[in-house]
Amino acid sequence: MEQIEVLIKDGQPMLLTFATNVVLAIIIFFIGRMVSGWLRGLVEKMMKARGMEATLIGFVGNLVYYAALTFTIIITLAQLGIETTSFAAVIAAAGLAIGLALQGSLSNFAAGVLIVGFRPFSKGDFVEAGGVSGAVESIQIFSTVLKTPDNKVIVVPNAQVMGGAITNYSREAKRRVDLVIGVSYGADLAQAKSIAEKVMSEHPLVINEDGFTLGVAALADSSVNLAIRCWVNTPDYWTVFFDLNEQIKKAYDEAGVEIPFPQMDLNMKQAS
């Protein structure tokens, strides 16, 4: 009986210390979880303020939350007296292995962050990127989804998008329509340019205030090629492009300005 009392008396400090550590560990864990949630909310709020994609916001927010929670768990275990050095080493080794295995995906993720951060294009823009062209349907964590004019959906890895030149056809409010139309060498160039200018000035979607460009672009084998240029609002580009080609052709036909077929002159000599 006396031995039991001695054991209880001697064990009370140990039990008190252990209980104190458990209570502190629980407090640390709950406070750490609250801080992790607060950090996630802060990061998501900052990313929303920059207008970043919802998918990327959620992914980065969860990444921050679980990284902070992992750090909290390590501190909690250390408070309980558990050796955490080996535990941290295992986590680091696992992270390295996962990083090496997913380095392609991680490069796509990093490129996705750059796309959303620097915003070379936004949803709805018509772009040429990664070797393909189309309207941007969505910017995802690892890829960008484009839809072509003939309604095909193309999924392009973000690393491929950021690895080359990006042409954004929708960024500016206005675009220049460039036409090259050939007339015969016998045509009156002043008349041909005057007709083209009249057609452009009468088109309702052409911005007349920005002026026109009409000039000889090349003296080709079969024709004199005229450069005909005007400015339009970006959404009207293709409508004006097709209209001007058709209307200038009809106007030239009515005025007798010839648009020649490819031709070649042959000079034959008779041997003496």
The CATH number that applies at residue 25 is 1.10.287.1260
Is 213 a domain residue? yes
Q: What is the CA radius of gyration of the chain?
A: 35
- Structural domains of the chain, count: 3
What domain range includes position 202? 174-255
Tokens of 35: 């801080």
Cβ count within 10 A of residue 86: 9
Is 107 a domain residue? no
Strands of the sheet with 132-139, listed across from one edge: 153-157, 143-147, 132-139, 126-129, 167-168
Quote the CA–CA distance of 263 and 62 in Å, as a whole number.
68
Is 68 a domain residue? yes
The pTM of this model reads: 0.64
Is 110 a domain residue? no
In this structure, what CATH number is given to the domain that contains residue 234?
3.30.70.100
Q: Do 161 and 178 share a structural domain?
A: no
The pLDDT profile of the chain, 272 residues, written as one tens digit per residue, is 555 555 455 556 666 777 777 788 888 888 888 988 898 888 888 878 877 666 667 667 777 888 888 888 888 877 777 766 666 666 666 665 655 555 556 788 788 878 877 788 888 899 999 889 999 998 877 889 999 999 999 999 998 998 889 999 998 999 999 999 999 999 999 999 999 999 999 999 999 999 999 999 999 988 999 999 999 999 999 999 999 999 999 999 999 999 888 777 777 777 76
Return all residues near 225 (Cβ < 8 A) that are at least 6 apart: 180, 181, 182, 216, 217, 218, 219
